[in-house]
Amino acid sequence: MIVKHFIIAVIATIVSSQAQVHDKSWRTIINNKDSAWFATQEAKAIAENVLLYQRNIGGWPKNIQMQKPLSKEEKLQLESQKSSTDEVTTDNGATTQEMLFLSKMYRATANETYKMAFLSGLDYILEAQYDSGGWPQFYPLKKGYYTHITFNDDSMVNILNLLKNLKENTGKYAIKPSEETLKKINVAFNKGIDCILKTQYKQNGILTAWCAQHDEITLQPTKARAYELPSLSGSESANIVLLLMDLENPTEAIKTAINSAVAWFEKVKIMGIKQVWEYDEQTKKRDKKIVNDANASPLWARFMALEDNRPFFCDRDGIVKYALSDIGYERRNGYGWYTDRASEVLKKYPEWKAKYDNGIKEKKAIKDDFNMIVAKDGSGDFYTIQEAIYAAKAFPYQRVIIHVKNGVYNEKVQVFSWNTQVSLIGESKENTIISFDDYFGKIDLGRNSTFHTATVLIEGNDFVAKNLSIRNTSGPVGQAIALSVIANRCYFENCAFLGNQDTVYTAGEGFKQYFKNCYIEGTVDFIFGEATVLFENCEISSKSSGYVTAASTPKEQEFGYVFKGCKLTAPENVNDVFLGRPWRTYAKTVFINCNLGKHIKPEGWHNWSNKEAEKLAFYAEYQGTGEGYKPEARVVWSHQLKASEAKKYTLETILKSTSAWYQNL
């Protein structure tokens, strides 16, 4: 028998993908075609096939070469199968890859049919999720191992990456779901991550990795096909960890999961061997072999024993073997038994560790303690805003200016009470974005959970922000703060604050804050708190029916909220918006020379079922304009100021303090 080595050193992941993915050509079309191609007739013809294969439930069957032309008879057959739910799955990339294709089609053509099919697929995925946060391999459920929570072939990771891109609006997908669907996406994603944390296997009390499938009830590792026994996976576990490492501002539980998995990957990596194909001249077949090679890159076994991490192999009889050569030709060559995917985890880990578990991503010598640069591309002093704040001097004698370059900074930012005189200066309001998605139910710390949800929390006095956006992306899920200001003499200029309920919290009895030329959006009570705040030339946009303000002004405080020269706007379909309601009985809110859209209710103000507030709160307007300014229809307990009364609402009077701090910004 003459044996020749055939393409020595085959990379393990390539071997695995060849064995596992039966739709390689279709996947290549989706991922490798130029964006302009998706507007061509060729692409549209394939898109028609994709639409035909989609079932009414929203998902697709797997292993279909969607690009292959269909005969008239085949098309009729697919039409007749539309209502069938058989074999609809997320296995082998099914459904998630078709959704990506449709998104690219929609971006290129703006055809609403593609958008609706994409959203139908999204509904399918959301519906298929277990209460535990996992997903089965097939939905509706198919008897057998298919009901297990399926990490196999990255099924669940593919889903979570899809949801992550949608909820973070990264731009990967051209289709933006509704606010209500985004709310569901956020909940589903968080449940999915929680499921990952709960299924990480403990070996003798130590967290390790994951099995390719876990029991949907007990969450324990379980078997699938005869040769897929309960085990620790060197393949699926790698992509789970890469997903976790991609989460901004990870919780301590996520950090522990990553650190534990990386320690396990280091422990179980296999050195000194590599996979090769050998070609047999007589049988005209190639055969996978394991050979010794001291210079080979590390490999990880697809299956490792739950008790001691020992790599094992199985034929279709389910009998454990400890050498690849001990199983039959068909399974030996038709399955990915080794992988190098964990190399990517180990490559990225030091950077992740430095960023999230070591204070800063990369230690650099700061050229100027009072002028620092934050840039996601590494061109600045820091990669994240919080890193720069950690490095800022406490109670400095001069202002600390942190320049933030364009980018989406997915992090919670806190400017501590000792970080006084800090300025965050963005490169542009549109493209310098601080974003996070905490909300009341997610924080779940009791009745005051709202105050822990802020994307940006300011506690240091004399803070300044310019030319940036701060958003809470949790969606319409209840209380979810974008900006929380619990500091005195704070100034915001040309900034955007984006959220839903409770977007901006302005706190501090006697504290003064100033918003100029800013955009603030929300739904209910989206500007609330007890500080004295001047909003000048700002756009205040209501996304739904609700209340613009919920002041809680202290009794002895002369001013609460003052809006001067502001414009109150809303989408065409939004009506029934109140200017404010009293969070506390002595609330004070005044609108001067503001343009009020038609969405503002004629009565203007609401008492929040507090009759006492009608006597003690102070709600007033002066010389408004717009369809929503109807002084004659306002509630009788509100006020229309006289010119003599309006004179006191000057910048100097409202923001008075021991020094004219607002003049030096």
Active site residues: 502, 525
Q: Are strands 469-472 and 432-436 parallel, antiparallel or unpaired?
A: parallel
- Report which of 169, 380, 345 is spatially closest to residue 260, judged by C-alpha positions: 345
DSSP 109-120: H--HHHHHHHHH
Tokens of 663: 């003049």
The span from the CA of 432 to the CA of 473, in Å, is: 15
- Report which of 448, 370, 372 is spatially closest to residue 403, judged by C-alpha positions: 372
Cα torsion 105, 109, 113, 117 to 10°: value is 20
Alpha carbon distances (Å) from 68 to 84, 101, 105, 196, 654 = 22, 15, 17, 37, 70
> Do 613 and 587 contact (CB within 8 A), yes or no?
yes
Cβ-based burial of 633 (10 A; exposed 0-12, middle 13-18, buried ≥19): exposed
Angle between helices 179-199 and 236-245 in degrees, nearest 10: 130
106-137 CB burial, b ≥16 within 10 A, e <16:
bbbbeeeebbebbbbbbbbbbebbbebbbbbb
The span from the CA of 641 to the CA of 592, in Å, is: 9
Neighbouring residues of 192: CB distance < 8 A, sequence distance ≥ 6: 129, 133, 134, 135, 156, 159, 160, 163
∠ CA 405-407-409, rounded to 5°: 105
Angle between helices 342-356 and 252-268 in degrees, nearest 10: 140
333: number of Cβ within 10 Å: 18
Residue that is written with structure tokens 């809006």 in the block: 563
DSSP helix/strand/coil, 64: coil
DSSP secondary-structure letter at 448? T
The span from the CA of 495 to the CA of 513, in Å, is: 14
Exposure on the CB side of residue 664, measured as CA atoms within 13 A: 9
- Report which of 528, 517, 525 is spatially closest to residue 543, judged by C-alpha positions: 525
DSSP helix/strand/coil, 436: strand
> Do 512 and 655 contact (CB within 8 A), yes or no?
yes
Sign of CA dihedral 306, 307, 308, 311: negative
- Report which of 90, 20, 31 is spatially closest to residue 61, judged by C-alpha positions: 90
